[in-house]
């Protein structure tokens, strides 16, 4: 017996129906915000991912050497690939360039509910605009994608890496130490953070103040802490403009400031954000993103970039946790030939209805009417057409409404108009 590889999943037709339903809804939302779709390869040069994050990322991804000796990796995310494509082909496009994507990602994570080795992201990148309105719209787009599919219980937290940098400066910490601390902050491991800060010679008072600022939603409190850093004050004021636009113009108010949001990936700078579904427990982060720098690292002319990605699989889990009623899979018509002589007519009707855009199936196992009706019910068929010799003499068939059980004789030429009225 073979089994799916650890951390991967099969999706049955029923599950695919849910996934496609959400995908269609999300694509419509991305398009409504002026984004166009992009697709990049499933694997890329390994260097694309180590360029910013360093060799240490290799242990977290699927890296391999192909038969031609090329160092490749299954993509762990799509931001670096999209920016690679931008630098390679799209730099001359009018700005801002707004691109969205759906794609499988691969990470050598420890699998658990909501965390897989193969998972799907729905995300976007905006290239060439960093005005407060562009950032506010990015945040609004992420939030709207999730509310448009029916999620209710979600919360956005907005952080800012420039300001966290200023906090570190007040503590006089080296870059290497900052990196270690950022990992602890990212995971909200404040006890370990306390220990590390004490080891770095930071007083208990300052440590508590620092941890407090990382968690406070109060912009004034943050302002007071970074008073001496002009760049950080400017960044805070620009972040306030973004958030005011989000609340007052985009009418999205379910957010809070949280400087403790520092994002694990190495390319971010400035505003970063995450959206959580608290109902999911440990793996509750549905979406993450922010402003970042990769274009110049990949050899392109410097241009502002920002984006986010939604974990598609977690989003489905969150919808299920909220008891969302996905539309059941359905078949428009199931056709039952009463005997084999009725087959040509059965197939002709199937083909005609299919051409008219209906989903149609017919009995291909030569079962009796009773068993075929049970099968049609199991497949959620809306209507069953029974093709029998007596009705066929009159160029008619029997139409059965599967919801009510009502049956009527209908001329073959009238089937489609009749079905439209059902
Ligand atoms: P990320 O936070 O690493 O960001 O991933 C985005 C989302 O993907 C997460 O919030 C989570 O829902 C989902 N996700 C991550 N790892 C797994 C996993 N192992 N299993 C299931 N879901 C997972 C990025 O990838 C950035 N590229 C986002 C971005 C776009 N930033 C700027 N542009």
Q: Digits of tens for pLDDT over the chain (422 positions)? A: 999 999 999 999 999 999 999 999 999 999 999 999 999 999 999 999 999 888 989 999 999 999 999 999 999 999 999 999 999 999 999 999 999 999 999 999 999 999 999 999 999 999 999 999 999 999 999 999 999 999 999 999 999 999 998 888 888 888 888 888 998 998 889 999 999 999 999 999 999 999 999 999 999 999 988 888 899 999 999 999 999 999 999 999 999 999 999 987 688 999 999 999 999 988 999 999 999 999 999 999 999 999 999 999 999 999 999 999 998 888 999 999 999 999 999 999 999 999 999 999 999 999 999 999 999 999 999 999 999 999 999 999 999 999 999 999 999 999 999 997 65
Strands across the sheet with 63-65, in order?
43-45, 71-74, 63-65
Separation of CA 224 and ligand 1 centre (Å): 33
Q: Is 107 in the pocket of ligand 1 (CB under 6 A)?
A: yes
For position 233, what pLDDT does the model report?
94
Q: Is 103 in the pocket of ligand 1 (CB under 6 A)?
A: no
Q: Is 125 in the pocket of ligand 1 (CB under 6 A)?
A: yes
Separation of CA 274 and ligand 1 centre (Å): 10
Ligand 1 atom 4, closest CA: 288
Closest to 271 (Cα-Cα) out of 299, 249, 241: 241
Count Cα atoms within 13 angstroms, Cβ side, for 59. Answer: 2
DSSP letter, residue 90:
I
Ligand 1 atom 13, closest CA: 311
Separation of CA 123 and ligand 1 centre (Å): 9
The residues near 307 (Cβ < 8 Å, ≥ 6 apart) are: 79, 82, 123, 124, 125, 126, 138, 289, 292
SS3 265: coil
220 burial class (0-12, 13-18, 19+ CB within 10 angstroms)?
exposed
Rounded Cα gap, residues 160 and 236, in angstroms: 8
For position 422, what pLDDT does the model report?
58
Q: How many residues does the chain have?
A: 422
Separation of CA 77 and ligand 1 centre (Å): 7
DSSP H helix total and E strand total for the chain: 15, 16
Residue with structure tokens 């999620």?
151
Q: Is 146 in the pocket of ligand 1 (CB under 6 A)?
A: no
Instruction: Among 314, 317, 319, name the best residue to mutate to test ligand 1's pocket (greatest count of ligand atoms within 8 A of Cβ).
Output: 314
User: What separation in angstroms does the CA of 251 have from each of 159, 231, 247, 255, 277?
Assistant: 19, 29, 5, 11, 20
Instruction: Among 77, 86, 104, name the best residue to mutate to test ligand 1's pocket (greatest count of ligand atoms within 8 A of Cβ).
Output: 77
For position 172, what pLDDT does the model report?
86
Q: Is 314 in the pocket of ligand 1 (CB under 6 A)?
A: yes
Separation of CA 311 and ligand 1 centre (Å): 6
For position 58, what pLDDT does the model report?
94
Q: Is 81 in the pocket of ligand 1 (CB under 6 A)?
A: no
Ligand 1 atom 15, closest CA: 311
Separation of CA 157 and ligand 1 centre (Å): 15
Rg (CA), the chain: 28
């Amino acid at each position: 017996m073979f089994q799916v590889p650890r951390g991967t999943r099969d999706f049955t037709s029923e599950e695919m129906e849910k996934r496609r339903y959400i995908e269609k809804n999300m694509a419509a939302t991305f398009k409504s915000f002026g984004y166009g779709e992009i697709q990049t390869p499933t694997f890329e040069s390994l260097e694309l991912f180590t360029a910013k994050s360093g060799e240490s990322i290799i242990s977290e991804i699927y890296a391999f050497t192909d038969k031609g000796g090329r160092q490749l990796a299954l993509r762990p995310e799509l931001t670096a690939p999209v920016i690679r494509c931008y630098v390679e082909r799209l730099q001359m496009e009018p700005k801002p360039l707004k691109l969205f994507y759906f794609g499988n990602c691969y990470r050598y994570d420890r699998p658990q509910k909501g965390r897989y080795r193969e998972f799907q992201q729905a995300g976007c990148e905006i290239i060439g605009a960093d005005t407060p309105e562009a950032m506010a719209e990015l945040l609004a787009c992420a939030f709207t994608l999730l509310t448009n599919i029916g999620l209710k219980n979600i919360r956005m937290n907005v952080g800012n890496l420039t300001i966290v940098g200023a906090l570190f400066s007040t503590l006089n910490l080296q870059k290497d130490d900052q990196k270690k601390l950022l990992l602890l902050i990212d995971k909200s491991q404040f006890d370990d953070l306390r220990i590390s800060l004490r080891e770095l010679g930071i007083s208990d008072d300052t440590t508590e103040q620092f941890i407090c600022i990382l968690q406070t939603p109060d912009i004034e409190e943050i302002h007071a802490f970074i008073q001496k850093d002009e760049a950080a004050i400017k960044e805070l004021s620009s972040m306030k403009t973004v958030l005011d636009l989000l609340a007052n113009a985009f009418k999205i108010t379910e957010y809070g400031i949280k400087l403790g949001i520092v994002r694990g990936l190495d390319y971010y700078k400035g505003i970063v954000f995450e959206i959580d579904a608290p109902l999911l427990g440990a793996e509750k982060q549905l979406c993450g993103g922010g402003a970042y720098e990769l274009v110049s690292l990949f050899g392109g002319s410097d241009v502002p970039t920002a984006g986010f990605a939604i974990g598609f699989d977690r989003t489905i889990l969150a919808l299920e946790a909220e008891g969302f009623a996905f539309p059941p899979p359905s078949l428009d018509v199931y056709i039952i030939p009463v005997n084999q002589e009725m087959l040509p007519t059965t197939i002709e009707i199937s083909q005609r209805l299919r051409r008219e855009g209906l989903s149609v199936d017919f009995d291909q196992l030569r079962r009796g009417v009773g068993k075929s009706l049970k099968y049609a019910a199991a497949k959620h068929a809306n209507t069953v057409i029974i093709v029998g010799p007596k009705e066929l003499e009159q160029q008619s068939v029997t139409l059965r409404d599967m919801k009510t059980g009502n049956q009527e004789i209908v001329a073959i030429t009238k089937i489609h108009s009749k079905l439209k009225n059902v």
